[in-house]
Amino acid sequence: MKTKYPFINLEYSEVSQDEMIERSECFYRKMRERRTVRDLSNKIVPMSIIENVIATAGTAPSGANMQPWQFIVVTNSVLKNKIRVEAEKEEKEFYEHRASQEWLDALAPLATDQDKPFLEVAPILIVIFLKKFSYTSEGKRLKNYYTSESVGIATGLLITALHNAGLVTLTHTPSPMKFLNTLLDRPKEERPYMIVVAGYPAQNAEVPDIVKRDISDILTLID
Ligand code: IYR
């Protein structure tokens, strides 16, 4: 049994309701501009931004505060090329054999395919691994809890922080992604969760003209 953490006073300063409304509207306006961008430029991104956004992701809540995530930042061209080659192999298999017709039909409007040039062009790949176990300083293995929920929340914060910083992202999930353990030398109990590709948009980048469901459609209020 672990000893209880000492409890400390919460740092919290209440703001007025008007201020809260203003802030929530303002943040919604900001987040509404976020788009998944597949046309990325190779313009370099300062590493301090990447450190800040990963630190932000690391503030996410997690099951028993186990923080079951690891963020691997890849900037090296040779490694990015290897990731692209391996991801494209998986994607070719997906588009030509593994995906059901229903899945291909759902994807068709987005015009995605097995070519993933952004994995090589973008200055930054953040490869997120989900850790099923943690290790104490004595090397004792501890189980982590609610790992996909926890890593999902952290990834959401990461994408939000990158958008807030003024960069664009692409969430990429080649499947299966086991090749990432080999290329990035991660232990087998870490599961590749997602690649967040980050950078500036290419000049004249285009995005599909999709819309998000209206609030009236996604919100059910039970009084
Ligand atoms: N992983 C593939 C396929 C893909 C699947 C879904 I669901 C998407 O929203 C987008 C792509 C690919 O990256 O092309």
Q: Could you please report the per-residue DSSP string of the chain?
A: -PPPPPP---------HHHHHHHHHHHHHHHTT--B---B------HHHHHHHHHHHTTS--BTT---EEEEEE--HHHHHHHHHHHHHHHHHIIIIIS-HHHHHHHGGGT--S--THHHHSSEEEEEEEESEEE-TT--EEE-BSHHHHHHHHHHHHHHHHHHHT-EEEEE--SS-THHHHHHT--TTEEEEEEEEEEPBPTT-------PPPHHHH-----
Average pLDDT per consecutive 10 residues, the chain (223 residues; last block may be shorter): 90 98 98 98 98 99 97 98 96 94 94 95 98 93 96 98 98 91 96 98 97 97 95
Closest atom of ligand 1 to CA, residue 112: 14
Distance, CA of 91 to CA of 162 (rounded, Å): 26
Pocket test for ligand 1, best of 84, 94, 169 (most atoms within 8 A of CB): 94
Considering only CA atoms, give the Rg of the chain.
Answer: 20
The confidence score (pLDDT) of residue 57 equals: 99
Distance, CA of 156 to CA of 53 (rounded, Å): 11
Please measure the distance between the N-terminal and C-terminal CA atoms of the chain and give it in whole angstroms: 41
What is the number of alpha carbons within 13 Å of residue 161 lying toward its C-beta?
20
Q: How far is the CA of 112 from the centre of ligand 1 (A)?
A: 7
Distance, CA of 69 to CA of 1 (rounded, Å): 24
Instruction: Report pTM.
Output: 0.95
Q: How far is the CA of 107 from the centre of ligand 1 (A)?
A: 7
The confidence score (pLDDT) of residue 181 equals: 98
The single residue listed with the structure tokens 């999709």 is: 210
ω into 176 cis (within 30 of 0): yes
Distance, CA of 87 to CA of 193 (rounded, Å): 14
The confidence score (pLDDT) of residue 39 equals: 97
Q: How far is the CA of 104 from the centre of ligand 1 (A)?
A: 9
The confidence score (pLDDT) of residue 175 equals: 82
Q: How far is the CA of 60 from the centre of ligand 1 (A)?
A: 25
Q: How far is the CA of 198 from the centre of ligand 1 (A)?
A: 17
Residues with CB under 6 A from ligand 1: 91, 94, 107, 112, 172-175
Which sequence spans correspond to the domains of the chain?
A: 36-200
The single residue listed with the structure tokens 């306006």 is: 29
Q: Which two tokens stand for residue 40?
A: 């990325």
Considering the domain delimited by 36-200, tell me its CATH architecture. 3-Layer(aba) Sandwich (3.40)
Closest atom of ligand 1 to CA, residue 175: 1
In b/e form, how buried is each residue of 72-82, taking b as 16+ CB within 10 angstroms? bebeeeeebeb
Bridge partners (DSSP) of residue 142 are: 134
